[in-house]
Amino acid sequence: MMFKDFLWLILKENVVINLIYKYLAPRFFCGNVFFDVRNLPIINKDQILKIGNKPNTKFSVKGYTSGTTNKPMTVYRSLQSIFLEEYIIKSYMYENGVGISPRIAVLRGEHLFPANHTGPTFWVKTLFTRRLFLSSYHISQANAHLYLEALENFKPEVIMAYPSSISLLAKFAQKLDWKPNWDLACVLTSSELFSKENQQTVAGVFGKVLDHYGQAERVAALQLCEQGNYHIRPDYSHVEVLHNEHGQHIVGTNIYNSAMPLRRYDTNDYVEGFDSHSKCSCGNHSPFVEKILGRDDDYLILPNGTYVGRMDVAFKGVTTIVESQIEQVERDRIIIRFVPKELDNIKAIEHELSNKIQERLGDSIRIEFIAMEKVPRTRSGKFRSVLRSADISINI
Residues 6 or more apart from 342 whose CB is under 8 A from it?
A: 320
Asked if 228 interacts with Zn ion (CB under 5 A), we say no
229 binds Zn ion (CB under 5 A): yes
**Torsion 95-96-99-105 (CA) sign:** negative
Residue 282 in contact with Zn ion, rule: CB under 5 A: yes
Shorter beta-carbon distance to Zn ion: residue 107 or 280? 280
Q: How far apart are CA 343 and CA 183, in angstroms?
A: 36
Which range, of 46-54, 103-111, 238-246, 275-283, touches Zn ion by CB under 5 A? 275-283
Q: Which is nearer to Zn ion, 282 or 308 (CB)?
A: 282
Window contacting Zn ion (CB under 5 A); options: 80-88, 111-119, 276-284, 304-312: 276-284
- Binding flag, residue 318, Zn ion (CB under 5 A): no
User: Rounded to the nearest 10 degrees, what angle do helices 163-175 and 196-206 cross at?
Assistant: 50
Query: By CB under 5 A, is residue 280 in contact with Zn ion?
Result: yes
Residue 290 binding Zn ion, by CB under 5 A? no
Q: Residue 229 or 324: which CB sits closer to Zn ion?
A: 229
- Partnered with residue 158 across adjacent β-strands are 104, 186
Q: In the 3-class helix/strand/coil scheme, how is 270-309 assigned residue by residue?
A: EEECCCCCCCCCCCCCCCEECEEEEEHHHCEECCCCCEEC
**Region of 4-12, 41-49, 163-171, 222-230 interacting with Zn ion (CB under 5 A):** 222-230
Q: Are 161 and 167 in contact (CB under 8 A)?
A: no
Helix H or strand E segment including 102: none
CB contact set of 286 (below 8 Å; sequence gap of 6+): 231, 232, 233, 234
324 neighbors 315 (Cβ within 8 angstroms) = yes
Quick one: 280 or 334, whose CB is closer to Zn ion? Answer: 280
By beta-carbon proximity to Zn ion, the closer residue of 221 and 225 is 225
Distance CA 295, CA 283 (A): 29
Q: Which is nearer to Zn ion, 165 or 229 (CB)?
A: 229
* The one segment of 40-48, 64-72, 212-220, 282-290 that binds Zn ion by CB under 5 A: 282-290
Residue 158: CB minimum distance to Zn ion, A: 20
The count of chain residues that interact with Zn ion, using the rule CB under 5 A, is: 6
Identity of residue 108: R
CB 131 within 8 Å of CB 105: yes
Least distance in Å: CB of 247 to Zn ion?
21
| Strand ranges, E, within 27-110 | 61-64, 74-77, 104-107
CB of 199 to Zn ion, least distance (A): 14
CB 165 within 8 A of CB 139: yes
- In a 10 Å sphere around its CB, with 0-12 CB exposed, 13-18 middle and 19+ buried, how is residue 147 labelled? buried
Q: Candidates 109-117, 126-134, 139-147, 228-236 — which segment interacts with Zn ion by CB under 5 A? A: 228-236
260 φψ region: left (φ > 0), alpha (ψ -120 to 50), beta (else): beta
Distance separating alpha carbons of residues 61 and 35, to the nearest angstrom? 25
Q: What mask, x for binding Zn ion by CB under 5 A, covers residues 240 to 259?
A: --------------------
Q: How far is the CB of 204 from Zn ion (least distance, A)?
A: 20
Residue 210 binding Zn ion, by CB under 5 A: no
Closer of 105 and 239 to Zn ion (Cβ): 239
Among 225, 239, 300, 361, contact with Zn ion (rule: CB under 5 A) = 225
Window contacting Zn ion (CB under 5 A); options: 44-52, 108-116, 221-229, 345-353: 221-229
Q: Is 255 strand, coil or helix?
A: coil
Contact 278, 364 (CB under 8 A): no
Main-chain phi, psi angles of 370, to 5 degrees: -130, 115
Give the shortest CB-281-to-Zn ion separation in angstroms.
Answer: 7
Contact pattern from residue 119 through residue 158 relative to Zn ion, giving x for each residue in contact according to CB under 5 A and a dash for the rest: ----------------------------------------
- From 186-194, 261-269, 274-282, 323-331, span contacting Zn ion (CB under 5 A): 274-282
List of residues contacting Zn ion (CB under 5 A) = 225, 227, 229, 280, 282, 284
